[in-house]
């Protein structure tokens, strides 16, 4: 990785994390300031805040302070990795359709015994933009396709290995 790019990313992350400690009213307005740039692809503070809220569904999220900044840094790193995965998928001409994303959402709803559309409703009730979850699903599906296209053709299982299993 280019050291200058690493430095620039670190500076953007520091600025983004500092901005997260801004008053909630600024965050709730859909803050479009940049938290990080991943190869010309911006992650906004709004995107970061939405993902933090999403992560917070399953865990206690600190309202402020050092714990919140630590969580924000972890979430932002995860989002950066997802953007890199999506960019690699695009480079490999791998596409994820809207139908695939919606099918995955429907499967999650089914496994959780939710009505159709119940997941979006639950997210909205918690002030979470459903696109935050959809983006995460899209990145996961894209990366799985890249892995299948790159690694699966290299895996060879002999008849003897199959019989042994």
- Mind listing the pLDDT tens digit of every residue in the chain (165 residues)? 444 444 344 444 544 454 444 444 444 456 788 999 999 899 999 999 999 988 877 767 666 777 778 889 999 999 999 999 999 999 999 999 999 999 999 999 999 999 999 999 989 988 899 999 999 999 999 999 999 888 777 777 778 877 887
Q: Which residue has the tokens 């479009």?
A: 32
DSSP state of 76: H
| 142 neighbors 96 (Cβ within 8 angstroms) | yes
Neighbours of 124 (CB within 10 A): 11
Return the pLDDT at 43: 94
Dist CA 31 CA 3 (whole Å): 29
């Amino acid at each position: 990785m280019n050291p200058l790019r690493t430095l620039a990313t670190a500076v953007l992350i520091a600025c983004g994390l500092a901005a997260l400690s801004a008053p909630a009213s600024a965050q709730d307005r859909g803050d479009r300031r940049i938290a990080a740039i991943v190869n010309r692809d911006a992650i906004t503070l709004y995107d970061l805040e939405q993902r933090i809220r999403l992560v917070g569904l399953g865990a206690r999220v600190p309202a402020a302070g050092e714990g919140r900044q630590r969580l924000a840094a972890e979430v932002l790193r995860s989002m950066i990795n997802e953007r890199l995965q999506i960019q690699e998928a695009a480079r490999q001409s791998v596409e994820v359709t809207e139908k695939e994303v919606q099918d995955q959402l429907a499967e999650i709803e089914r496994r959780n015994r939710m009505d159709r559309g119940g997941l979006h409703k639950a997210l909205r009730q918690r002030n979470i933009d459903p696109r935050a979850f959809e983006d995460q699903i899209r990145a996961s599906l894209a990366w799985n396709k890249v892995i299948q296209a790159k690694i699966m053709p290299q895996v060879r299982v002999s008849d003897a290995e199959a019989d042994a299993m």
